[in-house]
Amino acid sequence: QTLDEMRALRDETERFMLRYKFGMDEVITKLSILREEFNQTHDYNPIEHISSRLKSLDSVIEKMARKGVEPSFDSIRDTVTDIAGVRVTCSFVSDAYRIFELLTAQRDIRVLRVKDYIREPKPNGYQSLHVIVEVPVFLSTGPHPVAVEVQIRTIAMDFWASLEHKIYYKYDRQVPQELLDGLTDAAHTAAELDTRMERLHREVHGAPHAASAASAAGAPG
């Protein structure tokens, strides 16, 4: 490869990744607007915290290798749908579904995939509502659709997931069974806490019952 070809590949890679950052920024703006508007109009804040991360190129390549797919810009676009990731932490389960509905109902948002691990937790107890949305990013060359993974969860779910994630990496993915059992047990405790907090919240505010993503308007799968 010539030096010019290498430079061209580097530039194209940077452009490719930058689009995901822009997509992420669009989604964060949408969520921040909802959060601010809720605060102002309803004097209530369903969103506790919004965080985001762009997957590193190394992690993208590692994921492609794990999936056994030859990396190209097209194959990465189709295979790695969580290059841009936004995490929304809500107080209550009903808030998580509410944010999901409000975001996915927006006309420039296209829902590509929904995984409702709140309704159906993973065997280890992991709970979270995942939605991959496609959002248009307006560049000088015109609109470009970008996929962004949004993870919506409660504080209790987030607390559990962050500890589990740390343990998983501390043991290099080989966590002793006893610890795994302890984590699953803790996940059940977290879910129970969410149910109790939701009930108390409803008594105070008369908030609606928790729905599920499957019943939310316009959400496929």
Is there binding between residue 115 and ligand 0O2 (CB under 6 A)? yes
Shorter beta-carbon distance to ligand 0O2: residue 110 or 115: 115
Give the chain as a 3 state SS string.
CCHHHHHHHHHHHHHHHHHHHHHHHHHHHHHHHHHHHHHHHCCCCCEEEEEEEECCHHHHHHHHHHHCCCCCHHHHHHHCCCCEEEEEEECCHHHHHHHHHHHHCCCCCEEEEEEECCCCCCCCCCCCEEEEEEEEEEECCEEEEEEEEEEEEEHHHHHHHHHHHHHHHHCCCCCCHHHHHHHHHHHHHHHHHHHHHHHHHHHHHCCCCCCCHHHCCCCCC
CB of 175 to ligand 0O2, least distance (A): 11
**Other C-beta atoms lying within 10 Å of the C-beta of residue 162:** 10
Q: Which of residues 32-91 bind ligand 0O2 (CB under 6 A)?
A: 81-82
CB of 163 to ligand 0O2, least distance (A): 8
CB of 143 to ligand 0O2, least distance (A): 25
Shorter beta-carbon distance to ligand 0O2: residue 175 or 193: 175
Is there binding between residue 116 and ligand 0O2 (CB under 6 A)? no
Is there binding between residue 170 and ligand 0O2 (CB under 6 A)? no
> Is residue 26 annotated as a catalytic residue, yes or no?
no
Q: Which of 70, 120, 149, 198 is catalytic?
A: 149
CB of 23 to ligand 0O2, least distance (A): 16
Task: Pick one of 20, 38, 97, 126: the residue that binds ligand 0O2 (CB under 6 A).
Answer: 126
Ranked by CB distance to ligand 0O2, the top (closest) residue is 126
Q: Which of residues 150-169 bind ligand 0O2 (CB under 6 A)?
A: 161, 164-165
Q: What is the Cα gyration radius of the chain?
A: 19
Q: Mind telling me the catalytic residues?
A: 149
Residues contributing to the site for ligand 0O2 (CB under 6 A): 81-82, 115, 122, 124, 126, 130, 161, 164-165
